[in-house]
Structure 1
Amino acid sequence: MSLVVRAGSWMNTLIVNPTKQCKMLLLLICVILGLLGAGGFLLLWKTVRRRPCRRKKCISGLFWHYVALRVVSRQGFSQRKRLEVDSKNVHRIQEDILLQQLQQNQNTEYGRQFCFKEIADSDTFRRRHPLTQSSHYSEYIQRIAQGEENVLLSGRPPWLVVSSGAMVPGTTATAADSFRQGTALCLSTIFSTYPGVQEMARFQLASSVRHSDARIPIMSSTPLPPFATKYLSHLDSLPAAVLKITSEPELLYACLLFALWDKTLRVLEAATTLYLSDAFTYLQNNWLMLTEDLDKGYLNPQLQLPDSTRQELNFLLRPDCSRACELRAQFEQGFEGIARRVWPELQVILAMDSAYDELAGDSLREFYCKGVVVYSALYRAAEGLIGVNLWPEKMEQSYVLCPRSMFCEFLPVDQLEKGDQQPPTMCMWDVKESGLYELVISSGTGLCRYRTGDVVKVTGFYNQCPVVQLLFRQSQVLSVRGERISEDQFYQTLKQATQLWPGARLIDYCCVESSIHGLLCSGSDPHYEVFLELRGVRNLSEEQRYKLDQCLQEACPLYKLFRFKGSIGPVRVHLVQPQAFLQLHQYIRNCSGASQMSRILRRKEEIEFIQRKVIS
């Protein structure tokens, strides 16, 4: 009763004395704002407490860094829950995605040609539409590039993406889905698995944008949607000015310089393990110049940079003699395990580690980045997101196929050997564990029943979703007499042969079939030409080179049979100069715009390039 009386008395006082009421309300608001401000400051401090003094950000930078962490984490957590639900209803989700894609493009020329309006389920779609390859779409893509609309996609695509030398149209919806279902989910997985991870240093490929006759951008990879770029830029410790550099060697140099400056990095990110391995190779050959720039606090004048970009980057740099001395001491000890010695808190390497980049992945795990997890988060192609890796701490890279991203079919590998041009396919709900399949996709980019050439192995299931490992590409097979040696099989054989060469460490390699014109060692018998970059040996004897051929015979009985008959000649081994493959990769990216490299060279100009680097 007394409390009621006192409360009433207090209210009466406020009503009678409005000035006092305003003061008390103002005081209350100030207290609340003060508490909120203090809480926000503590959260910001917690988020960036380990940032070194020389890399401090302004208050707005700290705020957006915190916001980006929370937004990406929340988005990824939401997508993980959605994947959990979708993976229990794979059949329904796959049917819905396919019919949605067909409906979107039913009024295009391609949609009318294949009667998309009349297709009501996946069985009808698979009966009516043939399996396709890139050649099937070449005329359609050419017309799109010249400005025609409503050909494969409704309207005009915002960009074209280079895929293994060909082009495919891109859409903003596909790019946004790829970010939400893929990038955000996997970043959220990293943040939850490694709570201390805050920033990452991104080793960015130089942007190579051309334009078609109709001024449609032709890009080397699918761009991030603007909202994703906004948030991810706040998580990247590299200055935005670095990304203005268009020359690949200069861009790689600047990425390394600013990454080396920051001792507390915990994540290194690159598009592929191959590119990151190239970055460490470049570091091994240019560390003197990099440490000198850190010591002086400005970029080396020899770098070919626009004056405005150079001034902007020099303004951001500061002389750091202690860091330069620390780095020199580590580099002088050698480069085995250098990543953890340069960045003591480094926890994760975030890069696609596919079958094509297995050597690069091995190089990072076993040499440059010993003790650091290599996390291949996404199985992604120019056509869109295919799968996500939910297990960052596992060395084996496996991907859950995303049922809501694209419609997937599977060609059993044993059926491909029969020579049928339109073999029957299986759907996600039909595949068997341990089965080997070529992946076929129908995506929102307008490609229908498109044979990707990727051979995958189903290693298990996440609820009803297949979990796959990427083994090799059908096109990446050596065959001069029909013996068909896959890229993975050849690489495993090459590793075995390298162990028979005392002191040798394999840096990189590529292969060529002798049927391609212009090889160094000509001969009447078909054979393989192999170009190797080795470290630890200066030359190989003929007997040592022949060890590779012997190992290949042991690994492939059919190859051994052809060798015994004399219908295939021995492998010819050539050693190339240091950095030859780093230069080859840059050359291929500059010429074709492709971001993924091939170990089996088919183009004459690429073969001639590596031939010029041969030293023995």
Structure 2
Amino acid sequence: MSSPRALPPDCYSNLYYIRNCKMLLLLICVVLGLLVAGGFLLLLKVIRHRTCGRKKSMSGLFWHYVALRIIGWQGFRQRQHLEVDSKNVQRIQEDILLQQLRQNQDTEYGRQFCFREITNLSTFRQCHPLTQSGHYNEYIQRIAQGEENVLISGRPPWLVISSGTLGTCAMVPGTTSTAADSFLQGTALCLSTIFIMYPEVQEMARFHRAFSLHQSDSGIPIVSSTPLPPFATKYLSNLDSLPAAALEITSEPELSYVCLLFALWDKTLRMLEATTTLHLSDTFTYLQNNWLMLTEDLDKGYLNPQLQLPDSMRQQLNFLLRPDPSRACELRTQFEQGFEGIARRVWPELQVILAMDSGYDDLAGDSLREFYCKGVSVYSALYRVAEGLIGVNLWPKKLEQHYVLCPRSVFCEFLPMDHLEEGDQQPPTICMWDVKESGLYELVISNCAGLYRYRTGDVVMVTGFYNQCPVVQVLFRRSQALSVRGERISEERFYQTLKQATQLWAGARLIDYCCAESSIQGPLCSGSDPHYEVFLELRGVRNLSEEQRYKLDQCLQEACPMYKSFRFKGSIGPVRVHLVQPQAFLQLHQYISTSGASQMFRILRRKEEVEFIQRKVIS
């Protein structure tokens, strides 16, 4: 027999090639099979999710899942960066400052203050004075009129309304890098912290402010807060119970109504988010006054005709709504029982509220914790102002709000309050690595948007350190102090004294308040001696006797020796206490926001605001 013929070498190589192709094809099939199986499991989870709460499209739920993962990942990365940066504070701060100066060294302002010649921190402090908002007015006006390369290279994409150093409205430039840093170093990090501390939090409702666009003479948008970068808006919108179309609503009451309607529809919400606790408190007040109409709309599945909305907007929102009589009935039952602890009764799985709670918002935060949102954590995640991100709160479950200063966001200096003399325009400052625990300081910042050694007016207390980074508590603003004879009673001290007096009024609960120096009112003011005018909204009492009203003055004398001395001499008159009608402060907040102010303050400085609240007095 003849032996079998050997195959040519090329045939062996072809066989190996075919075999490798089969193995590769098998591997691809296995991977695709795993992806399909994973997708099927995700689909099961989605379908199970769709059986409760607000119905979402399949694509909406998919992007919801993607947004959770991306924001969680971004926040985790930022937390890692913060861990590293907080151990090298001096180097990071000096690098940030020099980078800001290099970016703007060829602007008119940079040439004026010789930024190109500044190579270290010491030279910067010698060349550039401490500034307040008035220092930049002329530059901002020129930018608004269209001039470029004034404070920053080119022209800013927007101007942000700020409360200014002295509590009066001012405009500051905004930049896209500031917005991106604020989201990544602030919002994303804190959302990631929430997802770790509250792993079940996935469904959330965001209560938005109406976006009213104004423009300068040259067409630069003027906004009340720094807008989110587009990529952040996309991700956050996928986590929100509110349809994206509703964000085009420009009326504050209509937007509040639509936000509430879609939030109430979803029983499974685990987080509520608002810009400030004041805004969220106002939203709950609005709910308390409009729940009948809201539940009726949920029952019928379309928006009430009384709402002032464009027809196209109404059609889009009505298309997304569905009649839900059982949910409407359930909500009516809860609302009829009263509004104490209403948040947890309406959303049984609610775990956390995300809203800034400092300064003016202290009372609103207390109101949420003690009344509307009893039993739910209120997490003030960010210390952020119009001029930029200052710090982040890494402890969601703590009652007091403490913020780790972000060393890579703005360059910080500190004015020690115990060495700060009235009238001293250029007091010495210290840096982030020189502050002392328990010290009180006025915060000074320099940012990439053209503000340098800018006195924010915020007074903070250093409560500790996170590695080398100071941890601060925001106490009050220096401009927010009552003074008719030079006595200076801070907003925070006045609020604590008012709470003490309220406890002496049997059955009374403080809803809101504001105050003014008598000189602001002019002819409207009662009494000849300079004094404080206090406007209160109370619940539980209809009126106060003169003796009860005088309790506030007595408490103030006990808390402030200098005030007591002036009262004893007769150079300051007693506090005048006025009760205002329900919802008066909600209307005042809306009035101030429509007038272009970026923030509401307890101590009113504008005569128009005092006259507005004066018209609401009932006793």
Residue in 1 aligned with 2:386? Answer: 382
Q: After TM superposition, give the deviation of residue 14 of structure 1 in Å.
A: 11
Kept in 2, the 8 Å contact 1:48–1:198? The answer is no
Residue in 2 aligned with 1:301? Answer: 305
**1:105 aligned onto 2:108:** no
Q: Quick one: distance in 2 between partners of 1:48 and 1:249?
A: 35
1:205 is aligned, of 209, 221, 234, to 209
**1:242 aligned onto 2:246:** yes
**1:56 aligned onto 2:59:** no
Q: Quick one: distance in 2 between partners of 1:18 and 1:380?
A: 62
How many percent identity over aligned positions? Answer: 82
Q: Structure 1 residues 12 and 235, CA, compared in 2 at 3 Å: closer, same or farther?
A: farther
Q: After TM superposition, give the deviation of residue 63 of structure 1 in Å.
A: 1.9
Q: After TM superposition, give the deviation of residue 361 of structure 1 in Å.
A: 0.3
Q: Structure 1 residues 421 and 20, CA, compared in 2 at 3 Å: closer, same or farther?
A: closer
Q: Quick one: distance in 2 between partners of 1:549 and 1:591?
A: 32
Residue in 2 aligned with 1:448? Answer: 452
Kept in 1, the 8 Å contact 2:433–2:468? The answer is yes
TM-score by length of 1: 0.95
Q: Quick one: distance in 1 between partners of 2:291 and 2:60?
A: 30
Kept in 2, the 8 Å contact 1:44–1:63? The answer is no
Q: Quick one: distance in 2 between partners of 1:415 and 1:305?
A: 55
Q: Quick one: distance in 2 between partners of 1:336 and 1:201?
A: 20
**1:615 aligned onto 2:618:** yes
Kept in 1, the 8 Å contact 2:54–2:267? The answer is no
Residue in 1 aligned with 2:144? Answer: 145
Kept in 2, the 8 Å contact 1:72–1:231? The answer is yes
1:228 is aligned, of 223, 226, 232, to 232
Question: 1:353-401, CA deviations, whole angstroms, 9 ceiling, x for partnerless residues?
Answer: 0122100000001111111110000000111110000010111100000
Q: How do 1:342-381 residues align onto structure 2 when only pairs under 5 Å count? A: 342-381=346-385
Kept in 2, the 8 Å contact 1:14–1:21? The answer is no
Q: After TM superposition, give the deviation of residue 520 of structure 1 in Å.
A: 3.7
Q: Quick one: distance in 2 between partners of 1:107 and 1:136?
A: 20
Residue in 2 aligned with 1:605? Answer: 608
Question: 1:322-380, CA deviations, whole angstroms, 9 ceiling, x for partnerless residues?
Answer: 11111111111111111000000000100000122100000001111111110000000
Matched AA of 1:609: F
Q: Structure 1 residues 49 and 460, CA, compared in 2 at 3 Å: closer, same or farther?
A: farther
Q: Quick one: distance in 2 between partners of 1:475 and 1:407?
A: 22
**1:321 aligned onto 2:305:** no
Residue in 1 aligned with 2:567? Answer: 563
Matched AA of 1:150: N
Residue in 2 aligned with 1:76? Answer: 75
Matched AA of 1:90: V
Q: How do 1:339-488 residues align onto structure 2 when only pairs under 5 Å count? A: 339-488=343-492
Q: After TM superposition, give the deviation of residue 288 of structure 1 in Å.
A: 1.0
Residue in 2 aligned with 1:497? Answer: 501
Q: After TM superposition, give the deviation of residue 519 of structure 1 in Å.
A: 5.8
Q: After TM superposition, give the deviation of residue 421 of structure 1 in Å.
A: 1.2
Question: 1:286-327, CA deviations, whole angstroms, 9 ceiling, x for partnerless residues?
Answer: 111111111111111111111111111111111111111111
Q: Quick one: distance in 1 between partners of 2:51 and 2:95?
A: 50
Kept in 1, the 8 Å contact 2:388–2:447? The answer is yes
RMSD of aligned residue pairs (Cα, Å): 2.0
Q: Structure 1 residues 97 and 539, CA, compared in 2 at 3 Å: closer, same or farther?
A: same
Q: Structure 1 residues 17 and 405, CA, compared in 2 at 3 Å: closer, same or farther?
A: closer
Q: After TM superposition, give the deviation of residue 461 of structure 1 in Å.
A: 0.3
Q: After TM superposition, give the deviation of residue 64 of structure 1 in Å.
A: 1.3
Residue in 2 aligned with 1:116? Answer: 115
Residue in 1 aligned with 2:4? Answer: none
- Range with greater deviation from structure 2 (269-278 or 236-245): 236-245
Q: After TM superposition, give the deviation of residue 462 of structure 1 in Å.
A: 0.3
Matched AA of 2:521: H
Matched AA of 2:137: S
Q: Quick one: distance in 2 between partners of 1:220 and 1:109?
A: 26
Kept in 2, the 8 Å contact 1:51–1:264? The answer is no
Residue in 1 aligned with 2:31? Answer: 32
**1:266 aligned onto 2:270:** yes
TM-score by length of 2: 0.95
Residue in 1 aligned with 2:548? Answer: 544
Q: Quick one: distance in 2 between partners of 1:118 and 1:315?
A: 62
Matched AA of 1:507: I
**1:130 aligned onto 2:129:** yes
Q: Quick one: distance in 2 between partners of 1:312 and 1:582?
A: 29
Q: Structure 1 residues 149 and 548, CA, compared in 2 at 3 Å: closer, same or farther?
A: same
Kept in 2, the 8 Å contact 1:52–1:262? The answer is no
Q: Structure 1 residues 24 and 442, CA, compared in 2 at 3 Å: closer, same or farther?
A: closer
Matched AA of 2:68: L
> What SS does the aligned partner of 1:512 have?
strand
Matched AA of 2:312: S
Question: 1:433-480, CA deviations, whole angstroms, 9 ceiling, x for partnerless residues?
Answer: 000000000011100000000000000000000000000001100000
> What SS does the aligned partner of 2:413 have?
strand
- Range with greater deviation from structure 2 (333-342 or 54-63): 54-63
1:279 is aligned, of 269, 283, 299, to 283
Q: Structure 1 residues 434 and 52, CA, compared in 2 at 3 Å: closer, same or farther?
A: farther
Matched AA of 1:429: W
Q: After TM superposition, give the deviation of residue 26 of structure 1 in Å.
A: 5.6
1:178 is aligned, of 177, 182, 185, to 182
> What SS does the aligned partner of 1:395 have?
coil
Residue in 2 aligned with 1:96? Answer: 95
> What SS does the aligned partner of 1:510 have?
strand
Residue in 2 aligned with 1:3? Answer: none
Is there any run of 5+ residues in structure 2 with no aligned partner, and where? Answer: 1-6, 164-168
> What SS does the aligned partner of 2:433 have?
coil
> What SS does the aligned partner of 1:88 have?
coil
> What SS does the aligned partner of 1:238 have?
coil
Question: 1:219-266, CA deviations, whole angstroms, 9 ceiling, x for partnerless residues?
Answer: 010001111111111111211122111100010011111111100100
Q: After TM superposition, give the deviation of residue 46 of structure 1 in Å.
A: 4.6
Question: 1:529-554, CA deviations, whole angstroms, 9 ceiling, x for partnerless residues?
Answer: 00111111111111111111111111
Kept in 1, the 8 Å contact 2:390–2:405? The answer is yes
Q: After TM superposition, give the deviation of residue 30 of structure 1 in Å.
A: 4.0
Kept in 2, the 8 Å contact 1:15–1:21? The answer is no
Is there any run of 5+ residues in structure 1 with no aligned partner, and where? Answer: 1-7
Kept in 2, the 8 Å contact 1:273–1:357? The answer is yes
Q: Quick one: distance in 2 between partners of 1:129 and 1:271?
A: 34
Q: After TM superposition, give the deviation of residue 199 of structure 1 in Å.
A: 2.3
Kept in 2, the 8 Å contact 1:153–1:445? The answer is yes
Matched AA of 2:112: Q
Q: Structure 1 residues 21 and 249, CA, compared in 2 at 3 Å: closer, same or farther?
A: same
> What SS does the aligned partner of 1:517 have?
helix
> What SS does the aligned partner of 1:529 have?
strand
